Amino acid sequence: MSDRIKDVRVVLASQSPRRADVLRQLGIVPEVRPADVDEAYEEGETPREHVERLARSKAGTVFAHEGDALVVGGDTVVVHAGNVLVKPADEAAAVEMLVDLSGSRHQVLSGIALAWSGGVVGSVAMTTVRMRRYDRDMAEAYVATGEPMDKAGGYGIQGLGAALVDSIDGDYYAVVGFPVVAFLELLADSGFRYAFGAITPNLLE
């Protein structure tokens, strides 16, 4: 019987607990090494370009110090009516953001990137989210829970914010902040195999 193929060491270049949680749900326990990169927009940069560039930058920056690992980077933005929604500055801003989202659709752009000895690759998943029609009282009650304050767009679909969502078109996990489908496609395209709890080199390549 041949020796088992050694699992790839996975490093997550993000301090987001939600991205780490999704990886753990896939059975992958990453080492967490947040990347220190400038997240400002470059002149003329679109939201899609921005999230992919930042995901690549985070992965590449951490890989420079983790050369024997597969480094995963990510970045997510919420776009509504042509405007990028960042994390709310305070509770009042969170309430106004949520009231504005009520009964409408918005897009979540989630960039994902891999950095390893073969280079850096990335892609972007876009999911459209339709919110329920709710009133200001409900928005205020949700903000009072504290959940929206560290989340772009002012809500968390994986938490209490699920009560505000009517439907989605696309990858649910992209809204959480870690697009699983795009991640698995990048792995396959880069010569890795996801083995339900581990990532290994694809020796059939």
pLDDT in tens, 137-173: 999 999 999 999 989 899 999 999 999 999 999 999 9
The whole-angstrom separation of Cα 205 and Cα 202 is 6
The whole-angstrom separation of Cα 56 and Cα 77 is 15
Return the CATH fold of 10-201: Maf protein (3.90.950)
pLDDT in tens, 101-123: 999 999 999 999 999 999 999 99
Distances (CA, A) of 21 to 10, 38, 94, 165, 197: 14, 24, 24, 21, 13
- pTM for this one? 0.91
Marked catalytic residue, from 75, 135, 137, 171 = 75
Known catalytic residue at 75: yes
Is residue 203 over pLDDT 80? no
